[in-house]
Structure 1
Amino acid sequence: MNESKKEGTISTTPLSIEERYSQWKSLVPVLYDWLANHNLVWPSQSCRWGSLLDHATYKNRHRLYLSEQTDGTAPNTLVIATCEIVKPRVAAAEHIAMFNEEARSPFVKKVKTILHPGEVNRIRELPSNTNIVATHTDSPNVMIWNVESQPNRNNAALDAPTSIPDLVLTGHKDNAEFALAMCSTEPFVLSGGRDKLVVLWSIHDHIATLATEEEPDVNEGSNVGGNSEKAAQSPSVGARGVYRGHKDTVEDVQFCPSSAQEFCSVGDDSCLILWDARVGSFPAVKVEKAHDGDVHCVDWNTHDINFILTGSADNTVRMFDRRKLNNRGGIGSPVYKFEGHDEPVLCVQWNPAKSSVFGSGAEDGIINIWDHEKVGKTSGSADTTVPETSPGLFFRHAGHRDKVVDFHWNASDPWTIVSVSDDCASTGGGGTLQIWRMMDLIYRPEDEVMAELDKFKSHILGCDTVTDSATDPATPSHT
């Protein structure tokens, strides 16, 4: 073990995964307001919050989407679950870290299973109709599901026929595995694939029929592809627009939050491209060298549409201001380059509650939480084992022991995150799902926090032991 860790000093020797995890777990009661750990039998490549289902006094219940990526001994599935989220300052500090890594969480309950034709690589919910979900698999097609009308296929046999998508979106010429987005203003779907194309669809005319429980017309359809030899046929929709500009696989796409006609894409050609469907199928702005490696992910700020985040195989997250991009030379300088990961960044997302905050997940098993407004100011990470060398970084979630393949902020329960890691490399199989929320004293304005702590000054000074104040989750012992 690293002896230099004692007495608050920082070691220059990197911690092993297990050492880092053990240290993180010991800090859980100090850094987190709530945390639930859920062991997954099969890895999940995507995790997404769905709609808020129910309010209660101490908890809220949300829909949660997951997948099960199997080894062939069981069907691949799209899972619809419910998750109970404990409200802020309800959970007792001493109970938060008391979980078994090999156990399922009582807060997460599987509601419905859809037997998916092929692996589920991406899941996206349509904001205007939360029963409609799109998925990507290892095929050129995008699949659309009505999760309410789809039959529950839980405990199905391995040779059982796969579920039939309510709609199939066609237009790619090669596999489209990861780049997938749903528009917040119109029923539009966006995808990218190995064919270097960005493809746009409208499902506006099909929303009404997707609400029915009738079997798809097998006479007019498209083979859904995937791993199933018995892949059924579903009604299909062709592309509304096909956009060419990338020179390699398109890894991620995202709509502008305020416009169904504007969107962006990133790919293995290191490019960031902004598109405007109103002016044609060619790039509106193309940043040829957005990163020094493949660009894996992109997100567009919902509060300030000028800011776009990208994450890359070069281990960095970069923030671009679209007002400062142009086509001259194809080079656009990022507003800032965020360096805090040791391995490729796989996912980025802006916080829906605060415009300057975002998260990034990477193959190093870490989810970093950043605030770009803190860049240039004295600000340290909430992880005391990390030197203050990453401006803007103020929290590190180290609860995963393998690569973080996805995470998602909860829009209706701000600051609550669901994250999932693929643990095959470290444990030989399975995955870990975590739902967590950092202590609010970490992200709230400093003057507000100090004013609250000041109220407990006399109590702190009057305590004979640290444990005297640990029973009250609102006291500084919980912060």
Structure 2
Amino acid sequence: MPRLPKRTSARDGSEEDEEEYKAIGEGEDESSEDDCEAMDDDDGAKDANARPRGARPEVWRPTTTEDADVELEYDESAYDALHAFSHEWPCLTVDVLRDERGETRELFPHEMLLVTGTQASEATKNVVSVMRVSRIKKTRKDADADEDEDMEASDSEDDGVANAPTLHVASVIHHGCVNRVRAMPQTPTVAATWSDSGHVMVWDLKVQMLKVMSATNDTKGQLEAPARVTPSQVFTGHKDEGYALDWSPATEGRLASGDCAGAIHMWEPIAGKWDVGATPYTGHTSSVEDIQWSPTERDVFMSCSADQTVCVWDVRQRAKPAMRVKTHDSDVNVMSWNRLANCMVATGADDGSLRIWDLRNFSETNPQFIANFTFHRDAVTSVDWAPFDSAMLASSSADNTVCVWDLAVERDAEEEAAALAARDNALPPEDLPAQLMFVHQGLKDPKEIKWHKQIPGMCVTTAFDGFNIFKAYNVGPAVA
């Protein structure tokens, strides 16, 4: 899994000299949409590529390198909410922190806490950041509702700024680029990081959490210098850098880390510290790309590897996995263990394939996936089961798309025929699965997608060009 390159401008390739975090509100998006609409009105008749009146629209999917640089405009009717913001440097990884604002939150505006790590141009400039994003408001407008009020609000630039989401950040200096960050589910202020220096570190981010939680609107944009904090623990026993990292949801403080040399080490909590076994778990013949602990079994975890296999491990047996199964025909980059339906595991590979496995029928001799999606046209970079629906999951890919899937959906010929009867609906591509609920585009090289555990339907992505927070209109609870 390659690191992100140094951030450059999409316009001219020159290095961006950004000194602050940025929260992007709706003001810029709305003005750009108005400009585009005006241009369409003036020049639409002259555009030789314009769709003929009455013709059926087409589904756009990138097919060339040039297509990756196309700037897309989003249809606000497709999203209950869509917000974007960026860090000073690109980030490979993000995790959602559990907060005390309550479970199953549906009413806007929302607030969330995130932890991320940077890929800076120099090792000494890297940080681990706790971020609080507040006033995440609904962006989808109901048809014919409050039209006059919306028009009046759009006339006031000050109102637009005042209503935009706010971003507060507190950081600690991190030695080396952050390949992956994961927060302990039982204690969100404790996070582990994989560094490209080959070290795995555990951090106490309680002070940074308090800073962002106590910040006010008056301090928005006022960045403090990153704190110099000593990690709670540093493990130097890996022989190479890595990406695989996961905390056990069943045993508080238990951690596993895997490296690009194929070794996995387990961390056992002992009196505020960790005892990291010097003898690694060995069973993969290539880089360990991802690790997932069982949601319920305290002594079981799984790992996936560039050797095209998935291993099931018993923590009491280091020398050999309990099971080693070939699951793909290319590197297995990522995996996710369903927290609601514990028998289900999803894996994503370098060839773009996304597969779903039932562990009750998981076999070394005859592995049978229950679903195989090939919609992605490049490597799958992340996969995450939804915490609110056992049949739903999300994936991101190097083809610059993020997809939401619902395994409970089946193809309905009558419903499809009715949809195609309307000329406004596009013809679906031949490889469009019935289970594909939503495709989010417009990102550059997305690396991770995470569901918010307490806001049903809300997703967070990190990519080369920053973060997106979005909720698709057809995913999760309906928004009034």
User: TM-score, normalising length from structure 1?
Assistant: 0.73
For 1:56-455, list aligned pairs within 5 A. 58-72=108-122, 75-84=125-134, 86=136, 106-149=164-207, 156=225, 163-176=229-242, 178-186=243-251, 187-206=253-272, 237-239=275-277, 242-278=280-316, 281-288=319-326, 290-328=327-365, 331-377=366-412, 384=426, 387=429, 389-391=431-433, 392-400=435-443, 402-422=444-464, 431-439=465-473, 442-443=474-475
After superposition, give the CA deviation of every residue in 1:78-103 in whole Å (9 maximum; x if it has no partner): 111101254668877898xx99xxx9
Percent sequence identity over aligned pairs: 24
- Measured in 2, the distance between the counterparts of 1:258 and 1:444 equals 25
Provide the secondary structure at the position in 2 that maps to 1:282.
coil
- Measured in 2, the distance between the counterparts of 1:23 and 1:385 equals 22
- Measured in 1, the distance between the counterparts of 2:380 and 2:260 equals 20
Aligned-partner residue type, residue 394 of structure 1 = M
Q: 2:99 aligns with which of 37, 52, 72?
A: 52
Aligned-partner residue type, residue 80 of structure 2 = D
- Measured in 1, the distance between the counterparts of 2:223 and 2:138 equals 33
- Measured in 2, the distance between the counterparts of 1:169 and 1:5 equals 62
Moved more, 260-269 or 53-62: 53-62
Structure 2 regions of 5+ residues with no counterpart? 1-47, 212-221
Judging changes above 3 Å, is the alpha-carbon distance between structure 1 residues 173 and 19 closer, same or farther for their aligned structure 2 residues?
Answer: closer
- The answer to whether the Cα contact below 8 Å between 1:46 and 1:66 also exists between their aligned partners in 2 is yes
After superposition, give the CA deviation of every residue in 1:133-176 in whole Å (9 maximum; x if it has no partner): 1111113331101101469896549xxx9532111235422222
- Measured in 2, the distance between the counterparts of 1:204 and 1:128 equals 16
Moved more, 360-369 or 58-67: 58-67
Instruction: Give, in angstroms, the shift of residue 374 of structure 1.
Output: 1.9
Judging changes above 3 Å, is the alpha-carbon distance between structure 1 residues 417 and 240 closer, same or farther for their aligned structure 2 residues?
Answer: farther
- Measured in 1, the distance between the counterparts of 2:142 and 2:203 equals 39
- The answer to whether the Cα contact below 8 Å between 1:319 and 1:335 also exists between their aligned partners in 2 is yes
- Measured in 2, the distance between the counterparts of 1:240 and 1:30 equals 54
Instruction: Give, in angstroms, the shift of residue 364 of structure 1.
Output: 1.0
- Measured in 2, the distance between the counterparts of 1:192 and 1:383 equals 46
Match of 2:79 in 1: 32
Question: Does 1:10 find its partner at 2:58?
Answer: yes
- Measured in 2, the distance between the counterparts of 1:184 and 1:193 equals 21
Match of 1:459 in 2: none
Structure 1 regions of 5+ residues with no counterpart? 208-235, 423-430, 450-472, 475-479
Judging changes above 3 Å, is the alpha-carbon distance between structure 1 residues 372 and 354 closer, same or farther for their aligned structure 2 residues?
Answer: same
Judging changes above 3 Å, is the alpha-carbon distance between structure 1 residues 20 and 81 closer, same or farther for their aligned structure 2 residues?
Answer: same
- Measured in 2, the distance between the counterparts of 1:304 and 1:183 equals 17
Instruction: Give, in angstroms, the shift of residue 107 of structure 1.
Output: 2.4
Instruction: Give, in angstroms, the shift of residue 70 of structure 1.
Output: 1.1
Judging changes above 3 Å, is the alpha-carbon distance between structure 1 residues 167 and 395 closer, same or farther for their aligned structure 2 residues?
Answer: same
- The answer to whether the Cα contact below 8 Å between 2:457 and 2:476 also exists between their aligned partners in 1 is no
Instruction: Give, in angstroms, the shift of residue 14 of structure 1.
Output: 5.0
- Measured in 1, the distance between the counterparts of 2:428 and 2:66 equals 16
Aligned-partner residue type, residue 124 of structure 1 = R
Judging changes above 3 Å, is the alpha-carbon distance between structure 1 residues 70 and 3 closer, same or farther for their aligned structure 2 residues?
Answer: same
- Measured in 1, the distance between the counterparts of 2:232 and 2:427 equals 49
**Matched positions, count:** 396
Provide the secondary structure at the position in 2 that maps to 1:309.
strand
Provide the secondary structure at the position in 1 that maps to 2:360.
helix
- Measured in 2, the distance between the counterparts of 1:193 and 1:47 equals 19
- Measured in 1, the distance between the counterparts of 2:135 and 2:357 equals 34
Provide the secondary structure at the position in 2 that maps to 1:323.
helix
Aligned-partner residue type, residue 67 of structure 1 = G
- The answer to whether the Cα contact below 8 Å between 1:34 and 1:437 also exists between their aligned partners in 2 is yes
Judging changes above 3 Å, is the alpha-carbon distance between structure 1 residues 444 and 134 closer, same or farther for their aligned structure 2 residues?
Answer: closer
Instruction: Give, in angstroms, the shift of residue 375 of structure 1.
Output: 4.6
Aligned-partner residue type, residue 119 of structure 1 = C
Provide the secondary structure at the position in 1 that maps to 2:285.
coil
- Measured in 2, the distance between the counterparts of 1:74 and 1:173 equals 22
Instruction: Give, in angstroms, the shift of residue 34 of structure 1.
Output: 0.8
- The answer to whether the Cα contact below 8 Å between 1:82 and 1:110 also exists between their aligned partners in 2 is yes
- Measured in 2, the distance between the counterparts of 1:337 and 1:406 equals 20
- Measured in 1, the distance between the counterparts of 2:59 and 2:174 equals 47
- Measured in 2, the distance between the counterparts of 1:4 and 1:277 equals 60
Instruction: Give, in angstroms, the shift of residue 383 of structure 1.
Output: 9.8
Match of 2:17 in 1: none
- Measured in 1, the distance between the counterparts of 2:52 and 2:68 equals 11
Aligned-partner residue type, residue 229 of structure 2 = S
- The answer to whether the Cα contact below 8 Å between 1:69 and 1:76 also exists between their aligned partners in 2 is yes
- The answer to whether the Cα contact below 8 Å between 1:357 and 1:372 also exists between their aligned partners in 2 is yes
Judging changes above 3 Å, is the alpha-carbon distance between structure 1 residues 22 and 140 closer, same or farther for their aligned structure 2 residues?
Answer: closer
